[in-house]
Chains A and B, each alone.
Chain A
C-alpha cells in the first residue's frame, strides 16, 4: 500500500500496486507471507480454491528462491509486489499479479521445467505446483535481479470486492 523505493530491487512499472512486502530469505517467514496472501486474495475476490492456489504458488516460488537462488542463506533480500492487472486477450476479468524479486545468481530457464510426475519420488514438485496454480508464470533477469512474475485472473463468476 505504499510507493516503491526506486533504489531497491524494483519492477519497471509503479502503477496499481496493492501490497509490497520486503523479507529476508528465512523459511520461518513463509508462514507470514502465506497469511498476507490468504487475506489479500480474499479481499481481491478469489474463490477459496483460487486463494489456496495463489498462496501455494507464491509460497513455492519463495521456497525456490530461498533454496536455489540463495542456497539456504537466511539473510538475503526478497521483495514481493502485488498489483491488480487488466485482463489479457484470453481473459475477461482482472487479475492479481505477484512479482518476486531477488538478488541471487541468474536462473537457468532450462532448469525451470519441473520434473515429470510419472515417478514416485521426493522433490521437484514446486515448479509443477506453481504452473498448475497460476495463469501466467514468467522469469526475467534485469541487471542483478531475478524477477518471477505470477498472474492469476479472477473467474467470470467471481465478484471482485476491491475498488
Chain B
C-alpha cells in the first residue's frame, strides 16, 4: 500500500494505492489523524480508486478520520470506491454516513 498527499489551500487529497488491511491501516490512520487533528485541514479527501480491498481495520481508520473531522467541524470525503470497498461500508452500515462520490471532480465540486 502506498499513500501520498496533494495539497491546496483548503484541501488535502490522499491518493491511496493497494489494499488497506491489518498490515498497513495504522499508516492510513496516522496520515489522516495528522491532517485532521494537527493541521486541521478544512477538507480531507480520500482517493480510493486504486484501492481494491479494505478490511475492518481499514474501515476503522476511515471512521476515526470521519469522527475526528466531525469533532472539528471539518469535511471528510471519499471517492472512487471499488465494489469490495463499497460492500464493506454497506455491510457496516456506514455507506450513508460517509460523504461518498464517484470521482475526484464530483468530490471537489461538492
A interface residue numbers (CB < 8 A to B): 27-28, 30-31, 34, 48-49, 52, 56, 59-60, 63, 66-67, 117-118, 120-123, 125-126, 128-129, 132-133
Contacts and interface: CB of A to CB of B under 8 A. Distances in A.
Nearest to B29: A122
B92 A117 contact: yes
B94 to A, nearest CB: 7
Interface stretch (B5-13, B35-43, B52-60, B72-80): B52-60
A132 B61 CA distance: 21
A129 B61 CA distance: 16
B interface residue count range (under 10 / 10 to 19 / 20 to 34 / 35 or more): 20 to 34
A120 to B, nearest CB: 6
Interface of B: 19, 21-23, 53, 55-57, 59-61, 63-64, 66-67, 83-84, 87-88, 91-94, 97
A59 B84 CA distance: 13
Nearest to B65: A122
Query: Would you call the interface of chain A mostly helix, strand, loop, or mixed?
Result: helix
Given A52-B83, A56-B88, A121 B63 contact: yes
Contacts of B19: 31, 34
Contact of A52 (B23, B64, B66, B87): B87
A132 B90 CA distance: 11
Given A120-B63, A132-B91, A126 B23 contact: no
A31 B21 contact: yes
